[in-house]
């Protein structure tokens, strides 16, 4: 039923729960594929680089972020790939989902930063409002 | 990325991003010139020349370089005391030093600058850019304050409506139109220095070529070279992160050097990579070398053809833009995480910031921060524990920790030589490491003290490098 599944990933607890649901959906349908989307927020890159200044050459933060989802997906034996997007998370995911015509978008109910959510509105809300396909918001 | 790909792999994105960056570069180049105390043209020529040259010789495609606040702040005294031509000479020397740094592959030593010093660096830079704007409020009335506030409101709120045009540019246009229509008397860019509507020309700085000149410009050049590379490599790492592509740091060092030499000969001030502009570039779709080239060319064309209009821009609008730059430069994350990072890290960060704010010199700030971190590190690892175990016929001393110049004094002072009659002594160094001549001398001293009392001493558990050191140095240090 749902063959092309987009999973919004930010490494948070909520996104882990969303990932489990996405995997569940994927295992229900033969030949389904999960595209794990991780958005790099251009506004946060500076603080991220500063935070990791002394370990930049050792591990890239990108690898750290996707290690967890890599493990989850491998264990469950589904088809998946990881895509990196740039920009404001909500907008970037909506654009990507609409452009590549997904069957469903799976997203956690909240992200990493509660304060930002209050000011800017939550990513999941934005996606639910503006994506052209069913959106599953995982509590 | 291959050479052709770096230039032509992303033409549309690079051209569009280049235009956006050019528009954002102009107000900053003017404002940084004013900070340095030179005519706006000096910063504008610098941003033009550096952006164009870096497009060809830089090591990080997608990164934007030009006249920057960090560099401008270092030049203030040189310009005030010796004038523009000494600044141009210092700029050329800065470039030469950076090329040498590049050839010596010094970029890898950037990791010796601790994270907390880097955070202090950007925070101090932000504070200095912010406070350097206060001079523009002197002798101005309420009008000035209102204009600055309106500029900030436009800069921060417009992006919620549209992101097609950069909001600082809209703020500048709106404030300029408002000032022209109301015939307001606030100071404008034109009041800060003449805007020459001409392309830069090759010129040799008119300075005496002697040792005295060198001794004047060298201290400035070394500071500029270091600060320029620190900010450029930080920016490079940010662009690496944003684009998930690696870059060549040593090529970048060399490229920054070449760009500074050329800009010095064309009447521009020393510059480096710009964090804010590079983020704008990547955000606007810029990835290749082309965007930097386009931004430089568009900038100079705008100045040459629209210089008269640029001269009408009120300083209030530029102050608004600089406040935005300062707020964007500050690492707010460092305030949020102040409770979870080690307290020594916070002290290093704060001391770095204070040093820079007091001296107005980012290079001194970085040096102070690095030294302070080193002191903290040394004191953290210089605690050596010596445990004394009485085993009847023998007394075993177990050393735990690093033995080196900073830790041996305490070990010697608190060493307990009291042993019973007829007992032998064993020094167990299996959980210790001897690092230098002081460590060997300290062990020698302990052994000698026991031998004076005719007690036999055995040393066990030395690791390989420690025993090699002992072999080389033992008993050779105390012979005068």
Contact call for A40 and B283, based on CB within 8 A? no
Contact call for B119 and A62, based on CB within 8 A? no
Contact call for A56 and B118, based on CB within 8 A? no
Residue A119's pLDDT band (cuts 50, 70, 90):
low
pLDDT at res. B106? 86
Radius of gyration over alpha carbons of chain A, in Å?
Answer: 15
Nearest to A54 among B114, B275, B283 (CB): B114
Give the distance from residue A122's alpha carbon to the nearest chain B alpha carbon, in angstroms: 15
The per-residue pLDDT for range B127-171, each reduced to its tens digit, is: 999 999 998 998 888 999 999 999 999 999 998 888 777 788 899
Contact call for A87 and B241, based on CB within 8 A? no
Contact call for A47 and B234, based on CB within 8 A? no
Contact between B389 and B398 under an 8 Å Cβ cutoff? The reply is yes
Chain A neighbors of B282, CB-CB under 8 A: 42, 86
Q: Tell whether the torsion through CA atoms of B444, B448, B450 and B455 is positive or negative.
A: positive
* Mean pLDDT of the region B220-226: 95
CA B99/CA B225 separation, integer angstroms: 9
The residue that leads in pLDDT, B355 or B339, is B355
The residue that leads in pLDDT, B450 or B47, is B47
Q: Is the pTM of this model over 0.80?
A: yes
The per-residue pLDDT for range B237-264, each reduced to its tens digit, is: 899 888 878 888 899 999 999 999 999 9
Contact call for A56 and B111, based on CB within 8 A? yes
Nearest to A53 among B115, B282, B332 (CB): B115
- Tokens matching residue B56: 């060809």
Residue of B240, B242, B327 to mutate for A, most A C-beta atoms under 10 A: B242
Give the distance from residue A110's alpha carbon to the nearest chain B alpha carbon, in angstroms: 20
CA B444/CA B423 separation, integer angstroms: 19
Own/partner pairs, B145-151, CB within 8 angstroms, 24+ separation? B147/B175, B147/B178, B147/B179, B147/B186, B147/B314, B147/B316, B147/B317, B147/B320, B148/B316, B148/B319, B148/B320, B148/B323, B150/B174, B150/B175, B150/B178, B150/B320, B151/B175, B151/B316, B151/B317, B151/B319, B151/B320, B151/B321
Contact call for B241 and A62, based on CB within 8 A? yes
The per-residue pLDDT for range B163-192, each reduced to its tens digit, is: 777 788 899 999 999 999 988 888 998 888
* Mean pLDDT of the region B216-228: 95
pLDDT at res. B477? 61
Give the distance from residue A54's alpha carbon to the nearest chain B alpha carbon, in angstroms: 6
Chain A neighbors of B283, CB-CB under 8 A: 42, 86-87
Count how many pairs of residues, chain A against chain B, have C-beta atoms within 8 Å.
60
B415 pLDDT more than 90: no
Q: Are strands B385-391 and B394-403 parallel, antiparallel or unpaired?
A: antiparallel
Q: In B330-404, which residue ranges form alpha helices assigned H by DSSP?
A: 333-336, 343-359, 362-381
pLDDT at res. A114? 56
Contact between A23 and A53 under an 8 Å Cβ cutoff? The reply is no
B479 pLDDT more than 50: no
| Total Cβ atoms within 10 A of residue A119 | 7
Radius of gyration over alpha carbons of chain B, in Å?
Answer: 29
Nearest to B244 among A48, A49, A84 (CB): A84
* Range with the poorest average pLDDT among A65-74, B14-23, B335-344, B440-449: A65-74
The residue that leads in pLDDT, B383 or B355, is B355
Contact call for A53 and B118, based on CB within 8 A? yes
Nearest to B279 among A42, A56, A84 (CB): A42
The per-residue pLDDT for range B456-477, each reduced to its tens digit, is: 888 888 888 888 888 887 776 6
Chain B neighbors of A82, CB-CB under 8 A: none
Give the distance from residue A114's alpha carbon to the nearest chain B alpha carbon, in angstroms: 13
CA B95/CA B221 separation, integer angstroms: 8
The residue of chain A nearest to residue B247, with distances taken between CA atoms, is A57
A64 pLDDT more than 90: no
* Mean pLDDT of the region A35-48: 82
CA B473/CA B480 separation, integer angstroms: 13
Contact call for B241 and A50, based on CB within 8 A? no
- Share above pLDDT 90 across residues of chain B, in percent, rounded to a whole number: 55
Residue A91's pLDDT band (cuts 50, 70, 90):
confident
B224 pLDDT more than 60: yes
Give the distance from residue A64's alpha carbon to the nearest chain B alpha carbon, in angstroms: 13
Lookup result for tokens 């291959």: B2
Contact call for B122 and A53, based on CB within 8 A? no
Contact call for A87 and B234, based on CB within 8 A? no
Q: Which residues contact B339 (CB under 8 A, 6 or more apart)?
A: none
pLDDT at res. A39? 83
Contact between B295 and B64 under an 8 Å Cβ cutoff? The reply is yes
Nearest to B237 among A43, A56, A86 (CB): A56
Contact call for B242 and A53, based on CB within 8 A? no
Chain A neighbors of B111, CB-CB under 8 A: 53-54, 56-57
Nearest to B275 among A46, A60, A61 (CB): A46
The per-residue pLDDT for range B9-59, each reduced to its tens digit, is: 889 889 999 998 998 899 999 999 999 999 999 999 999 999 999 999 999
CA B102/CA B105 separation, integer angstroms: 5
Chain B neighbors of A86, CB-CB under 8 A: 242, 282-283
Give the distance from residue A134's alpha carbon to the nearest chain B alpha carbon, in angstroms: 26
Residue A120's pLDDT band (cuts 50, 70, 90):
low
Residue of A45, A59, A66, A114 to mutate for B, most B C-beta atoms under 10 A: A45
Own/partner pairs, A20-27, CB within 8 angstroms, 24+ separation? A20/A72, A21/A106, A21/A136, A21/A138, A22/A106, A23/A72, A23/A73, A23/A76, A23/A78, A25/A104, A25/A106, A25/A136, A26/A2, A26/A76, A26/A78, A26/A79, A26/A80, A27/A76, A27/A78
The residue of chain B nearest to residue A120, with distances taken between CA atoms, is B160
Give the distance from residue A123's alpha carbon to the nearest chain B alpha carbon, in angstroms: 15
The residue of chain A nearest to residue B118, with distances taken between CA atoms, is A50
B268 pLDDT more than 80: yes
Contact between B217 and B74 under an 8 Å Cβ cutoff? The reply is no
Question: If you average pLDDT over every residue of chain A, what do you get?
Answer: 82
């Amino acid at each position: 039923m749902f063959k092309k599944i987009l999973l919004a990933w930010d490494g948070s607890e909520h996104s882990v729960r969303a990932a489990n649901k996405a995997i569940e959906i994927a295992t229900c349908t033969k030949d389904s594929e999960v595209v794990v989307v991780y958005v790099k927020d251009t506004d946060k890159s500076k603080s991220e680089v500063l935070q990791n200044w002394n370990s930049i050459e050792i591990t890239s933060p990108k690898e750290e972020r996707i290690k967890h989802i890599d493990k989850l997906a491998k264990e469950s034996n589904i088809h998946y790939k990881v895509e990196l997007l740039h920009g404001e998370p909500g907008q970037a995911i909506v654009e990507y989902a609409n452009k590549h015509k997904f069957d469903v978008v799976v997203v956690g109910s909240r992200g990493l930063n509660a304060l930002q959510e209050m000011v800017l509105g939550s990513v999941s809300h934005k996606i639910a409002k503006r994506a052209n396909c069913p959106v599953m918001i995982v509590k | 990325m291959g050479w052709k790909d770096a230039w032509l792999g992303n033409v549309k994105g690079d051209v569009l991003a280049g235009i956006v960056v050019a528009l954002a570069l102009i107000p900053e180049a003017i404002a940084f010139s004013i900070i340095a105390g030179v005519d706006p043209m000096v910063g504008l020529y610098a941003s033009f020349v550096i952006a164009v040259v870096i497009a060809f010789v830089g090591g990080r495609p997608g990164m934007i370089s030009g006249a920057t606040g960090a560099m401008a702040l270092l030049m203030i005294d040189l310009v005030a005391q010796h004038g523009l031509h000494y600044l141009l000479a210092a700029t050329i020397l800065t470039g030469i030093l950076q090329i040498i740094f590049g050839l010596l592959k010094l970029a890898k030593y950037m990791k010796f600058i601790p994270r907390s010093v880097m955070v202090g660096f950007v925070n101090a830079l932000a504070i200095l850019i912010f406070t350097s704007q206060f001079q523009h409020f002197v002798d101005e009335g309420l009008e000035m304050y209102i204009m600055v506030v309106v500029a900030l409101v436009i800069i921060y709120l417009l992006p919620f409506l549209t992101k097609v045009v950069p909001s600082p540019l809209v703020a500048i246009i709106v404030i300029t139109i408002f000032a022209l229509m109301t015939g307001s008397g606030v100071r404008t860019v034109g009041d800060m220095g003449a805007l020459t509507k001409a392309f830069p020309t090759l010129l040799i700085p008119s300075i005496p070529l002697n040792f005295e000149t060198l001794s004047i410009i060298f201290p400035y050049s070394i500071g500029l070279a270091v600060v320029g590379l620190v900010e450029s490599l930080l920016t490079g790492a940010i662009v690496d992160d944003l684009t998930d592509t690696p870059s060549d740091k040593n090529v970048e060092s060399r490229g920054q050097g070449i760009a500074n030499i050329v800009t010095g000969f064309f009447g521009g001030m020393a510059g480096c990579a710009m964090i804010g502009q590079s983020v704008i570039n990547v955000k606007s779709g810029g990835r290749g070398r082309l965007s930097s080239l386009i931004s430089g060319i568009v900038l100079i064309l705008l100045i040459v053809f629209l210089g008269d209009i640029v001269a009408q821009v009120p300083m209030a609008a530029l102050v608004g833009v600089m406040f935005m730059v300062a707020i964007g430069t500050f690492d707010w994350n460092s305030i949020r995480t102040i409770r979870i990072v080690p307290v020594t890290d916070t002290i290093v960060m704060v001391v770095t910031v204070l040093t820079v704010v007091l001296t107005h010199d980012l290079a001194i700030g970085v040096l102070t921060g690095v030294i302070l971190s080193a002191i903290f590190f040394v004191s953290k690892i210089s605690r050596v524990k010596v445990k004394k175990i009485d085993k009847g016929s023998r007394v075993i001393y177990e050393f735990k920790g690093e033995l080196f110049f900073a830790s041996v004094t305490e070990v010697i002072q608190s060493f307990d030589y009291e042993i019973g009659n007829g007992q032998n002594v064993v020094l167990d160094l299996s959980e210790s490491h001897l690092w230098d001549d002081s460590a060997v001398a300290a062990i020698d001293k302990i052994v000698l003290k026991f031998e004076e009392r005719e007690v036999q001493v055995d040393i066990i558990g030395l690791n390989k490098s420690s025993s090699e050191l002992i072999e080389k140095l033992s008993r050779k240090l105390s012979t005068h």
